[in-house]
Amino acid sequence: MTPVQWSLAQLASLIGAKLHSTQPERIVRRMASDSRTIQTEPALFWALTTASGDGHRHLEEALERGCLAAVVSVQGWADHPVAGLDVLVVDDVWSALYLLAAAHRAAFNGTVLAITGSNGKTSVKEQLAHLMADPTVVRSPRSYNSRLGVPLSVLQFPLDASVWLVEVGVSEAGGMARFTPWLKPTHGIFTGIGDAHDEGFASRAQKLREKRSLFEGVTALVVPEDKDHEGMQSPLCSEGGGWIGPDGQRFAQAQDSQAERSNAFMALTACYMLGRVPRNFETRPCGPLRLERRPARWGGSLLIDRYALDEASVEEALGLLAQEDSQTRTAVIFDADFGRWQSAIEGWAKRYPMIQIDLAHPQDSAPGIAQSGAVLLKGHGVEAALEARLARQHDSLVEIDLDALEANLRHYRSLLPPQTRVMAMIKANAYGLGAVVLARALERHRVHYLGVAYPEEGRELREAGIRSPIMVLNPGDPSFELMLRYRLEPELFSWERLAAFAEAYGRYPEALGDVLVHIKVDSGMHRLGFEPHEGLAVAQALAKLPGVRVASVLSHFAAAEDPQQDDFSRAQWDAFSRFADDLEGELQIKVWRHMANTPAVARHPWAAGDMVRLGIGLMGASPVASDAKQLQPVVQVTTTLSQLRKVPAGQGISYGSTDSAPHERLIATLPIGYADGIPRALSNGRGQAYAKGHFMPIVGRVCMDMLMVDATNTGLRVGDRVELLGRHILLEDLAKSCGTISYEVLTGLSPRLPRLAANGL
């Protein structure tokens, strides 16, 4: 099929926009409404205004991340102009988006099948696409059925497709009117009415009328099996719990829930209604597509649905749980409003007597889960609750406070000029804390870049759904094609790396648009980088690579935290600036310059440049003492007291029987040691633990899996939680006690310690 594309001039004509562009024939193939997504492929950015924000505030970011142009409102553009950005100026951006979708729909002469209802829309859509097994049938991605999702889905559909499958959802009265004037489906599937979004309508009857209004004028309408009288007669005949199609095919439904049976019925009916022969019924995608099944860590199986939370979707999930091969079945519904579920649970208890159904608040740690059997977690926030519960089953735990991370980010932003961008360094799995979790948190707070050490770290982030630009500090020669494929941006620091990248770029088979690279300068650290006098030569080499764009020039301070070396830091900046000036002058472009790390942000405001690279400071530590006092601890390592014993005066502790005392002591054993990342250097009183207002010295030698502390006169009991690192034992202090740096302490925390990321720990 032919990919959808428009020129900027065509778009301006279709939506009645005033075009400001020096390249009106530039081609647009993709739409974007989130400025964080654009770097993966050049796109047209729609500056939409929503309850959560104004897209015009992110126009500069959209340009920086590679958008071709933006659709803006007259007032929004007046308030937030961005030099160098091509724009299509309209009265209202939302209206323009729907106008373009309507024009694209009007140009399509094939079948348009719309699907709406309270539940099952995505499941029916995916099953129908599977049964038709036709590459010319296109469908809305995932559950794109919202005010924004419907037009964006339609705009990606090729005009030479045979069928468009469009999923449509509304959550409030009047919402369907956004689509009915222009979507004009030829066929429809109405999955039925449930209690989802009841609060958006005056009555269930009003909601029914609202949803059914989408199907005015359709050739045929499919409804659930028990509602045949409301729509066309299904071509399926019931037999033995399954169906027989008009072509004689038999479709068995022995093991499915009632909701799944209904979804399969509607998908099969629609397939025949469109004149197609269903294929591969047995391998269709079954079950709620948002429900994830995984092995449980305690044994048995685990079903998780983080999204829909209404009676129909819960009942569907309970039906699947009832089919699990397990003697113990538990369901936990997470919702702050317990009252809404009481009558439903009474009915489910009679229908599913084999299932224990519990209610929990969203912040609870999945109470009621058995240590074996099948478990269903339903509602919002269940993943965090599950992880919290499972993590806290371990004696020792690494906790990451995301609120503290955000506070530290705000602190550093307050030290920077408003236009200076932030790159968050999350190399080495975010210093051992979990790169994906931290990247998601940092992306929510709109850091401009993420920095990793190796391409594989970047690929892991991309495959986890991270969309922010990612710079790779140390790309190896064989990895350039992987980086191009995942839109990772390499740091080029030598002639050999530059030549290898040029070769990989030249043989990469796909048209990529602009490819961004970052040029490293050795300004005096003597680790990696081009020489300061090579800026002109590097620029000339890059000029021979059409499509390669220099995003930034960077270097690294060697001793920004040391006042005795401030003159050297100034000399480094001057050398770096000479290189950047030469490169910019030769290429006739402006590139971002960044050299400041955490201590440089704190001590050298003159070195803020266009971007800074923050690492350890975000984690709550800084080599600059005055800066460290402004930070909040992000990482906490705790364990559980295993045993208490009295040790007579004069007797030593642990291997070597060292660290004796002239008095009797109460010694506490903690199940954590150097294999978990607690350095052996903390032995014999050089380190300490904290609990219940008491600092307790580590006594004897730290063992591989255990260590001992002096708990005399503390009142501690077996099972009490003890802090080894956190708000009382600061990261920098612990590092000094070990004779090392905070980076080494964090990266040394063992993977066998569970990580728990949460807010406000």
Q: Are 336 and 289 in contact (CB under 8 A)?
A: no
- For residue 425, the tally of other CB atoms under 10 A from its CB is 23
For the chain, give the longest Cα–Cα distance.
Answer: 94
> 596 with 609: CB under 8 angstroms?
yes
Q: How far apart are CA 50 and CA 689, in angstroms?
A: 49
- Residue identified by tokens 């599977």 is 130
Q: Rounded distance, CA 299 to CA 293, Å?
A: 13
Q: What are phi and psi of 340, to 5 degrees?
A: -65, -15
CB 593 within 8 A of CB 610: yes
Give the residue among 517, 569, 577 at the shortest CA–CA distance from 543.
Answer: 517
Structure tokens at 563: 């006042």
Integer Cα distance of 390 and 332 in angstroms: 15
Q: Could you tell me if 669 and 643 are in contact, meaning their C-beta atoms sit under 8 angstroms apart?
A: yes
Cβ neighbours for 669, distance < 8 A, ≥ 6 positions apart: 641, 642, 643, 644, 645, 706, 707, 708
CA 548 to each of CA 507, 509, 573, 587: distance values in angstroms, whole numbers, following the listed order: 14, 15, 26, 12
Alpha-carbon gap, residue 702 to 683, rounded angstroms: 5
**Residue in 18, 227, 655, 736 annotated catalytic:** 655
SS3 for 449? strand
Contacts 24+ apart (CB under 8 A), 253-258: 255/323, 256/286, 256/319, 257/315, 257/316, 257/318, 257/319, 257/320, 257/322, 257/323, 258/315, 258/316, 258/319
> Rounded to whole angstroms, how far apart are CA atoms 153 and 450?
29
C-alpha to C-alpha distance for 625 and 383, rounded to whole angstroms: 38
Closest alpha carbon to 85 in 56, 48, 49? 56
Strand-strand pairing, 163-167 and 187-190? unpaired
Identify whether 655 is a catalytic site residue.
yes
- The tokens describing 643, both together, are 């045993």
Helix (H) or strand (E) holding 438: helix 435-444
State both tokens at 86. 């091509």
Question: Under 8 Å CB-to-CB from 475, ≥6 apart: which residues?
Answer: 454, 455, 483, 488, 490, 491, 497, 501
What's at 421, amino acid-wise? R
Structure tokens of 289?
């597509």
By the 10 Å C-beta count (0-12 exposed, 13-18 middle, 19+ buried), 578 is classed as: middle
Exactly one of 272, 427, 505, 690 is catalytic; which is it?
A: 427
- The sign one gets for the Cα dihedral 580, 553, 57, 44 is positive
d(CA 375, CA 459): 32
As a whole number of Å, the end-to-end CA separation of the chain is 52
CA dist 562 to 2, 123, 520, 577, 623, Å?
60, 60, 23, 21, 9
Residue with tokens 């270097």: 555
Q: Is 98 a catalytic residue?
A: no
Number of other residues whose CB lies within 10 A of the CB of residue 714: 20
DSSP line for 381-429: THHHHHHHHHHTTSSSEEEEEHHHHHHHHHHHHHHS-TT-EEEEE-HHH
Active site residues: 427, 655
